Amino acid sequence: MISRIDHVSLAVQDFDAAFRFFADFLGAVPGSSGEDPAMKYYWEILSLGDLSRLELITPTGPGSFLDNFLKDRPGGVHHITMQTPSIVRAREALEENNIPYFGFASYGDVWKELFIHPKHAFGVLVQLAEFTPDDWISPSVRMPRRTKVILEKTDAGVELKFAHPGGGTADISLSREEAKRLLKDLQESLEEMPERT
């Protein structure tokens, strides 16, 4: 039902200070962002390393859905977003197991979601969502479309960059010896595969 944890969402009162901390100091790469005028908040996705992501959310005015959460604190973990291949199947599984949920919504093919309240998820607000991860991260941290592997030579050997199903890339450095062993294993595997007609 769950493919992976996509991101942890942090609600903050001072967005600029939080953004400077995560982007300027820790090197997170800004990705998609937007504002929800109805719920009165702004959000932005930040990528860290190969596959880790944070979402910063902050109120944009009085009456934000974040007001109560931020009333007595400058910020904190608001929710965890988990990717599901099928929000409909996830909803059915919750119903079959008598696990309450709320906020079921569909925004076309771009995003489908529902939430599990902290009292039903061991103290954590869980967002289950169906989406394409690369749509929400910066082009600088995602693989070019229809490319699965990029190989780059280095002084010590090679760097392999793989497209990750969760968006972005997974990078692996191999020494010359490790690269030769991988090449040999690949060649042997290909030789053992039956020819297709």
pLDDT in tens, 149-189: 999 999 999 999 999 888 888 899 999 999 999 999 999 99
pLDDT digits (tens, 9 = 90+) for 16-47: 999 999 999 999 999 999 999 999 999 999 99
For 64, the 3-state DSSP assignment is: coil
pTM of the model: 0.84
Tell me the domain boundaries of the chain: 4-139, 143-192
CATH classification of 4-139 is 3.10.180.10, yes or no?
yes
3-class DSSP assignment, residue 70: helix
